[in-house]
Chain A
C-alpha cells in the first residue's frame, strides 16, 4: 500500500537556526497537506499544495510540492520556540483518493 515517509524523524535546533523536513510518498499524490501537532495537542492544518512544483510561503515557513507530486518539503527560517512540535505531511493517492495517508512525522525541538 501507499507509504509516506518523512525525514528526519527528530531534529533539535537552536533558536534562530533553519529547519527542513522532507516528505516522500511511494505513490503519486493528488495533493499534499501539512499539519503541526504540538506536544499533547492535536494536528492543526498548515497548508495544502495541489500543483506540481508548487511553492507556498507562510511568514517563515516555505512549502514545496515536487514536480512528480511524490515528494514535498517544509522549510522554517530562523526557528523560534513556538515552532516546537511534530510536523506531518499527508496525502491522498491519486485516482480514487480512497484514504489519506499521513507521513511518519518530524519532531522539532527548539532551544534557546
Chain B
C-alpha cells in the first residue's frame, strides 16, 4: 500500500506571498491532519479533517487554512507568509473515525523556507 505523499517536498517563498501544500493520504484513510515542525516550537497541530469537514483546529492564525476533497486528499494554504512560517509541514493520515484514537501515518513533509 502506498504511503502518505506530500508535494512539493521543498519550497522557497518570499514574505507576503501565499503557498498551497498538498497531501495524499493512504488509500482508505479519511482523517488527515496537518502539523508544523520547527526547532523552536517542536511539532504543533494545525488542523484535522475527516470526510471533507474540519473537525479540529490548533492555535494558529487565520492565515493558515485547509480543506479536504471527496477523495480524502487535502491541501493547506498559508497566506501573507511571514519569516516565522519557515518550517517543515507534515501531513498525517489515519483510519480514526474518532479523532486521534488511532495511529497516524506521516508523510515526508514539505520544507518551506520564507525569505
Interface on A for B, CB 8 Å cutoff? 1, 30-31, 33, 35, 41-45, 48, 88, 90-92, 97-105
Contacts and interface: CB of A to CB of B under 8 A. Distances in A.
B107 A99 contact: no
Interface string B71-115: 000000000000000000010100000111111111111000000
Interface of B: 33, 35, 42-45, 48, 56-59, 90, 92, 98-109
A102 B44 contact: yes
Nearest to A91: B100
Contact of A48 (B90, B92, B98, B102): B102
Nearest to B104: A45
A104 B37 CA distance: 11
Given A43-B90, A97-B98, A48 B42 contact: no
Contact of A1 (B33, B35, B59): B59
Nearest to B6: A42
Contacts of A41: 108
- 6 closest A-B pairs (Cβ-Cβ)? A92-B100, A102-B43, A45-B103, A42-B106, A100-B100, A99-B45
Contacts of B103: 33, 45, 48
A33 B92 CA distance: 14
A41 B107 CA distance: 9
